[in-house]
Structure 1
Amino acid sequence: MQAYPPKKRYYPLWWLLLAVSRLPFPLLYLLSDFLCLILYRFIGYRKKVVRLNLERSFPEKTAVEIESLIPAFYHNLCDVIVETLKLATITKAEMRGRTSHPDSEVFVKAASAGPVIILGSHQANWEWALPGAAAHFSFPADGIYKVLNNEFFEWFMLRTRTRFGQHLINMKDTLKDFIRRKNIPRAISMLSDQTPPRGEIQYWTTFLNQDTAFYVGADKLAATFKYPVFFVECVRVKRGFYEYRISQLWDGKTTLENEAFPITERYARKLEKSVQANPAAYLWSHKRWKHARPVANEMAGMQ
Structure 2
Amino acid sequence: MPNEPSTTPSQRRKPVSTAPIPANTAMRFRWWRETVMLRGLWLLVGGLSPERASALGRRIMRFIGPHSAKHRHVRANLAIMCPERSKTEIEALSRQVWGSLGATLAEFVHLDTLTNTVTDTPAIEVVCENTDADFLAHRKPCIFVAAHLGNWELSSWGIQHFGYPVDVVYKPQDNPRLDALVMPRRQRLGCGLVPVRNAVRNLMKSLKQGRSVGLHVDVRVEDAPLSPFAGLEAATTTMPAWLARKFECDIVPVHTERVGDARFRVILHPSIPWRDATTGEPKSIELLTAEMNEAVAGLIRRVPGQWLCTKRRWPKKAMQERGAYS
TM-score (norm 2): 0.73
Structure 2 CA distance for partners of 1:264 and 1:84, relative to 1, 3 Å: farther
Instruction: Give the partner amino acid of 2:242.
Output: K
Matched, 1:193 2:218: yes
Q: Shift of residue 258 of structure 1?
A: 5.6
Q: Percent identity?
A: 20
Per the alignment, residue 55 of structure 1 pairs with 79
Instruction: Give the partner amino acid of 2:140.
Output: G
Per the alignment, residue 296 of structure 1 pairs with none
What is the alpha-carbon distance in structure 1 between the residues aligned to residue 140 and residue 212 of structure 2?
Answer: 9
Per the alignment, residue 203 of structure 2 pairs with 178
What is the alpha-carbon distance in structure 1 between the residues aligned to residue 89 and residue 97 of structure 2?
Answer: 13
What is the alpha-carbon distance in structure 2 between the residues aligned to residue 152 and residue 67 of structure 1?
Answer: 31
Instruction: Give the partner amino acid of 2:80.
Output: R
Q: Give the 5 Å matches for 1:146-295.
A: 146-197=171-222, 200-205=223-228, 207-252=229-274, 254=276, 255=280, 259-292=284-317
**Moved >6 Å (runs of 4+):** 13-16
Whether contact under 8 Å (2:274, 2:283) holds in the other structure is: no
What is the alpha-carbon distance in structure 2 between the residues aligned to residue 130 and residue 23 of structure 1?
Answer: 25
What is the alpha-carbon distance in structure 1 between the residues aligned to residue 292 and residue 283 of structure 2?
Answer: 16
Structure 2 CA distance for partners of 1:165 and 1:285, relative to 1, 3 Å: closer
Whether contact under 8 Å (1:144, 1:168) holds in the other structure is: yes
- Note the alpha carbon deviations across 1:124-151, whole angstroms, 9 max, x for none: 22111113333x2444222011233433
Q: Alignment partner of 1:67: what SS? A: helix
Q: Alignment partner of 2:85: what SS? A: coil
Instruction: Give the partner amino acid of 1:287.
Output: R
Whether contact under 8 Å (2:149, 2:256) holds in the other structure is: yes
Q: Alignment partner of 2:122: what SS? A: helix
Per the alignment, residue 7 of structure 2 pairs with none
Whether contact under 8 Å (2:97, 2:307) holds in the other structure is: yes
What is the alpha-carbon distance in structure 1 between the residues aligned to residue 62 and residue 257 of structure 2?
Answer: 24
What is the alpha-carbon distance in structure 1 between the residues aligned to residue 235 and residue 225 of structure 2?
Answer: 8
TM-score (norm 1): 0.77
Instruction: Give the partner amino acid of 2:74.
Output: V
Per the alignment, residue 29 of structure 2 pairs with none
- Structure 2 unaligned spans of 5+: 1-12, 18-31, 319-326
Instruction: Give the partner amino acid of 1:275.
Output: I
What is the alpha-carbon distance in structure 1 between the residues aligned to residue 39 and residue 191 of structure 2?
Answer: 21
Structure 2 CA distance for partners of 1:160 and 1:256, relative to 1, 3 Å: farther
- Structure 1 unaligned spans of 5+: 294-303
Per the alignment, residue 129 of structure 1 pairs with 155
Matched, 1:120 2:146: yes
Q: Which deviates more, 252-261 or 141-150?
A: 252-261
Instruction: Give the partner amino acid of 1:69.
Output: L
More helix by share: 1
Q: Alignment partner of 1:113: what SS? A: coil
- Note the alpha carbon deviations across 1:165-213, whole angstroms, 9 max, x for none: 211112234322234333333331100111011xx222332x2343322
Q: Alignment partner of 1:143: what SS? A: strand
What is the alpha-carbon distance in structure 1 between the residues aligned to residue 168 and residue 251 of structure 2?
Answer: 14
What is the alpha-carbon distance in structure 2 between the residues aligned to residue 94 and residue 14 of structure 1?
Answer: 29
Structure 2 CA distance for partners of 1:127 and 1:179, relative to 1, 3 Å: closer
Whether contact under 8 Å (2:142, 2:249) holds in the other structure is: yes
What is the alpha-carbon distance in structure 1 between the residues aligned to residue 312 and residue 293 of structure 2?
Answer: 17
Matched, 1:74 2:98: yes
Per the alignment, residue 297 of structure 1 pairs with none
